[in-house]
Amino acid sequence: MPMRRTLLAIVLLCVTCGAAAGQDVAGSVHRIDGITVRGERPVREAGLTRTEIDSTQLAESGTASMAELLTRHTPLFIKTYGQGSMATVSFRGTAPSHTQVEWNGMNINNPMLGQVDFSLLPVWFVDRVELLHGGSSLQAGAGALGGTVVMGSVPRWDRRFYGTVAQSGGSFGTWQTFVAAGGGSRKVQARVRYLYERARNDFRFRNIAVPPFERVRQQNADYEKHGATADLFWNAGRGHMLALSAWYHHADRNLPHLMSFQGKGRRETQTDDELRVVLRWSKYWRKVSTGLSSGYATTGIDYLLANLTDIEWLTNIDSRSTVHSLYNKYRVEWRPSERTALRAVLNADYHRVRTLDRRSAEGYGASRTELGLTLSAHHSFTSVVAGYVLLRGELSDGSAAPLMPSLGVEVAPLRARDRLRLRLNLTRNYHRPTLNDLYWLPGGNPALKPERGYTGDVAADYAQAFGRWTLGVTAAGYVSAIDDWIAWRPSDYRYWTADNIREVLARGAELTAVASYRASAWTVSLRGNYAYTRTTNRNALSASDESMGKQLIYIPMHKGSAMLSAAWRGFYLDYLCTATGERFTTSSNEATRHRLPAYDLHDVTLGRRFGFGTTVGLDVQLRVNNLFGRDYQAILWRAMPGRNFMLTAKLTF
């Protein structure tokens, strides 16, 4: 009952007080007087369903991972294995591999797994984040049957020198250090960012899987991470712009065993090393713009799993995987008039993978070449109606995917164009099997077909500002049919194998809302989002298959959050509530102890910002996570922490 009341409160909040995605909202740290900025939205954005996370929200979550940011401020569901452990995204009820992720124009999905570990993406390393929902993601490339997360770096041309140093310390031996410095002129800007994080992660929890159901301390869960990014921007004049960006990240993680583990001992570790480098060039004329980006990425993953027997430690898995990828993208846009834009995007990517289990001497080596071409036309027919048509084709290792069309229409029936916008989007998309799906030994299936997605979106944005108030709402509904869904299942040979076995229907609604008030000394905002997601299997594999018409595992039907923020004379307070509905861990949706109950979490942040002159600031904040000490599981038999604290001091200059 408390969970139902929490979800109902979030839905009512979204209905009654909203703001369009991308509206400025008072966050928690940096507060400025309100200003009005007027400008025409690019015609190429008409008809798209997109959400931009504003700079205030990024600053408020600057010491968090991308997984935490998306949980707090978007309707996306994050499947997390716990603090410091892997976190993946379910976008509109689809699989993690159906969410594509871009960084500075380069796709960073692992070609082996097809997904991204969002716990390894620090918010500290990015300056902008936006979501392309459903069919709108085809603008960025194919494969995103759920949506695309776009991240990037932005120069600060107005600063000759700036920097930030932050230090956090909290429960369970958690320490974080953040450093950033940059500057330059209006021609050249450079910046470096660094972070270090470690935690014992040894919280106490109640083990409800093994009698006598007592409170125990989590073991073998410590981790250590560090990384850095560097950006160089050069305004070369005459419309030329060059940018070089590099990202390196290293993580050593001990992975805790399940609550239900009853063996003598278990050791599970994973080491991740990632390096990404991308060079971008762009040129702007009065009616034509063009750009070229080339990037290289390499990933190394070491994974070890061993169990203690009566005699000795027995190694079950000792694998090493390496990935090397090359990315190239060329874009050209012609704007014959202010109301029309024609675009063409050509990409050529190459991936090489090698994986080996050193215990069994099994593994595979494979490569993939991907070519893609996107052509689109965007036009504003009148001051009321605008839209686009898009066509994408892809070729991978000599095999062509069927053409992928997309159509979007936007109507602004009110006189003030940005006050109310109605959108319709229809798209066909394809997602190729991952290299593990094709070649993993044993169980890979080279005969797999691409997953086919057909998506329809309708959305409405409304925003209104009057006096000191800003109100608005964004609502969207969607239906997506995905055929030839790839799933792994037990085979006749005592191992699992991949096959195109499912037909899935995903449908649902997303709601985002904000109300904000600004006075001379006060800033108050209330933000909420809610997602209803119904994703079901439409076919049965056999007469005994009970998954027909049932919700897919680990996808909640209901997910929402609400955040109240208030600031007064340098003091600020944030109160965040997130609610997640029940999830099933079996495809038959059995109401057994394997069903994960709904839960709600409450976080409070209290801080004070001090100013020294016009350029130096000090922020000190205390954050309390899981304020009411909820016992919950995000993944079956994975322990999660109770109430915990984090103290952060951040110096900016």
pLDDT tier at 542, thresholds 50, 70, 90: confident
* pTM score above 0.85: yes
3-state class (DSSP) for residue 4: helix
Q: What is the pLDDT of residues 226-282, one digit of tens each?
A: 999 999 999 999 999 999 999 999 999 999 999 999 888 999 999 999 999 999 999
The CA distance from 444 to 216, in Å, is: 39
Mean pLDDT, to the nearest integer, of 206-211? 92
Q: Between 3 and 433, whose confidence is greater? A: 433
Q: What is the pLDDT of residues 434-447, one digit of tens each?
A: 999 999 999 999 99
Q: Look over the chain and give the mean of its residue pLDDT values, rounded to a whole number.
A: 91
Which distant-in-sequence residues (6+ apart) come within 8 Å of 465 by Cβ? 471
The rounded percent of the chain whose pLDDT value lies above 90 is 80
Half-sphere exposure of 519 (CA within 13 A, CB side): 7
pLDDT tier at 417, thresholds 50, 70, 90: low
Q: Which two tokens stand for residue 638?
A: 């994975």
pLDDT tier at 491, thresholds 50, 70, 90: confident
With contact defined as beta carbons under 8 Å apart, do 32 and 524 qualify? no
Mean pLDDT, to the nearest integer, of 287-307? 97
With contact defined as beta carbons under 8 Å apart, do 245 and 228 qualify? no
3-state class (DSSP) for residue 484: strand
Q: What is the pLDDT of residues 378-398, one digit of tens each?
A: 999 998 999 999 999 999 988
Integer-rounded Cα radius of gyration of the chain: 25
Q: What is the pLDDT of residues 569-627, one digit of tens each?
A: 999 999 999 999 999 998 888 877 778 999 999 999 999 999 998 889 999 999 999 99
The CA distance from 232 to 243, in Å, is: 6
Domain range annotation of the chain: 2-295+306-652
CA proximity to 249, closest of 302, 209, 195: 195
Q: pLDDT at position 42, please?
A: 83
With contact defined as beta carbons under 8 Å apart, do 168 and 647 qualify? yes
Q: pLDDT at position 37, please?
A: 42
Q: Identify the helix (H) or strand (E) that includes residue 437.
A: helix 435-439
> Residue 457 pLDDT more than 70?
yes
Q: How many other C-beta atoms are found inside a 10 Å radius of the C-beta of residue 570?
A: 14
pLDDT tier at 336, thresholds 50, 70, 90: very high
E-strand spans in 238-361? Answer: 240-254, 266-284, 288-308, 313-337, 340-357
Q: What is the pLDDT of residues 27-60, one digit of tens each?
A: 333 434 344 444 457 888 899 999 999 888 898 8
Residue at 588: amino acid letter: S
The CA distance from 448 to 438, in Å, is: 7
> Residue 76 pLDDT more than 50?
yes
CA dist list (Å): 200 to 216, 223, 224, 627: 15, 7, 9, 21
DSSP 3: H
Residue with tokens 């049932």: 550
The CA distance from 368 to 112, in Å, is: 11
The CA distance from 243 to 235, in Å, is: 9
Tell whether domain 2-295+306-652 is in CATH 2.40.170.20. yes
With contact defined as beta carbons under 8 Å apart, do 642 and 632 qualify? no
With contact defined as beta carbons under 8 Å apart, do 463 and 471 qualify? yes
The CA distance from 277 to 108, in Å, is: 11
Q: Which of 13-27, 236-250, 482-496 has the lowest mean pLDDT?
A: 13-27
CA proximity to 129, closest of 149, 112, 115, 145: 149
